[in-house]
């Protein structure tokens, strides 16, 4: 047991050392972070499809912790002034579980593998990215659907908590498709920012996850995975028809998350790295001449 602990400590120390070496060798810390995330994304693109699916289903189930905790807090303190600030803490639980357990969450994958594809935008890499997105999204939706059905039909929660679940879902459905999209852009951007921060977070990873996902909740944004649990709960309990899950919720929210994570954050992050690379190349040429 002691030997395993020593090996784990050595691996963590080696990763930290390698990261510091990368920062020293590359022209900026941002580029070192970019390379770490890009390399992780490249590995995800090559993963076995069934491993991805199982991990994504597990993530969908784990995200139900956000719905559960937020529902319990809403039932107990939702009526109090400023209760939303504490209620939103519940939203962070699922994200902490999923990210610390290294499960596949769709909105994380709007930046991690995308950086790898941007580095080498080949047709094969684009196909691998589409495969990854499709499998992870499907798995997340399967997991969230199972959780939503269980919350609606299993005799676990008292009427006050069930009403809280209903209220949370109906609050999301009060948004127009345009609002769904716009709010999802913000949450996609926040998740991408969080992913970018984690390699440098060290022992404070949980605090980073907590702060960023709490911000998603307190800002009343929309998220395709957590929101799916909230809306499918309404569908399974008969509060809304299933068509309303597709529109106005799922399609605008999915597109907004992709836009915020990929087309805004990932593109801008990759752009600054390309500028660093060009600057580094010009400096190298000047030195050699």
pLDDT > 90: percent of the chain: 62
Give the residue numbers spanning the domain of 79.
29-280
Tell me if 234 is assigned to some domain: yes
* Per-residue pLDDT reduced to its tens digit, 241-274: 999 999 999 999 999 999 998 877 767 766 666 5
Tell me if 184 is assigned to some domain: yes
Tell me if 286 is assigned to some domain: no
Q: For residue 158, give the CATH number of its domain.
A: 1.20.1080.10
8 A C-beta contact, residue 187 and residue 216: yes
DSSP per position, 90-123: GGHHHHHHHHHTT---GGGGGTHHHHHHHHS--H
Whole-model pTM: value is 0.83
Tell me if 33 is assigned to some domain: yes
Distance, in Å, from the CA atom of 212 to the CA atom of 194, rounded to the nearest integer, reads 6
How many domains does the structure of the chain reveal?
Answer: 1
* Per-residue pLDDT reduced to its tens digit, 35-57: 788 888 888 898 999 999 999 99
Tell me if 23 is assigned to some domain: no
8 A C-beta contact, residue 262 and residue 108: no
8 A C-beta contact, residue 166 and residue 237: yes
Helix, strand, coil distribution of the chain in percent, nearest 5: 85, 0, 15
8 A C-beta contact, residue 61 and residue 86: no
Tell me if 7 is assigned to some domain: no
Tell me if 288 is assigned to some domain: no
* Per-residue pLDDT reduced to its tens digit, 74-131: 999 988 888 899 999 999 999 999 999 999 999 988 788 888 888 888 999 999 999 9
* Cα separations in angstroms, 255 against 52, 141, 210, 222: 21, 15, 24, 11
- Which residue has 């009427």 as its token pair? 159
Tell me if 4 is assigned to some domain: no
């Amino acid at each position: 047991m002691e030997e395993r602990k020593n090996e784990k400590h050595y691996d963590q120390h080696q990763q930290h050392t390698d990261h510091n070496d990368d920062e020293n060798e590359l022209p900026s810390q941002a580029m070192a972070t970019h390379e770490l995330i890009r390399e992780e994304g490249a590995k995800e693109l090559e993963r076995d499809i069934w491993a991805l699916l199982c991990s994504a289903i597990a993530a969908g189930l784990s995200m139900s912790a956000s719905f559960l905790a937020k529902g319990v807090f809403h039932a107990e303190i939702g009526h109090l002034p400023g209760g939303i600030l504490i209620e939103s803490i519940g939203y962070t639980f699922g994200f902490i579980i999923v990210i610390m357990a290294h499960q596949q969450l769709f909105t994380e994958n709007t930046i991690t593998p995308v950086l790898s594809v941007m580095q080498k935008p080949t047709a094969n890499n684009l196909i691998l990215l589409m495969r990854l997105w499709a499998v992870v999204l499907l798995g997340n939706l399967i997991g969230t659907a199972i959780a939503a059905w269980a919350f609606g039909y299993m005799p676990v929660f008292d009427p006050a908590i069930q009403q809280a679940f209903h209220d949370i879902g109906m609050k999301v459905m009060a948004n127009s498709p345009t609002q769904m999209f716009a709010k999802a852009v913000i949450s996609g951007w926040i998740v991408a920012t969080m992913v970018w921060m984690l390699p440098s977070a060290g022992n404070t990873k949980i605090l980073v996850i907590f702060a960023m996902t709490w911000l998603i909740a307190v800002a009343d944004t929309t998220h395709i995975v957590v929101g799916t649990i909230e809306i499918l709960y309404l569908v399974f309990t008969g509060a809304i028809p299933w068509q309303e899950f597709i529109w106005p919720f799922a399609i605008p929210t999915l597109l907004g998350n992709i836009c915020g994570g990929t087309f805004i954050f990932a593109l801008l992050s990759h752009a600054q790295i390309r500028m660093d690379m060009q600057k580094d190349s010009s400096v190298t040429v000047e030195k050699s001449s």
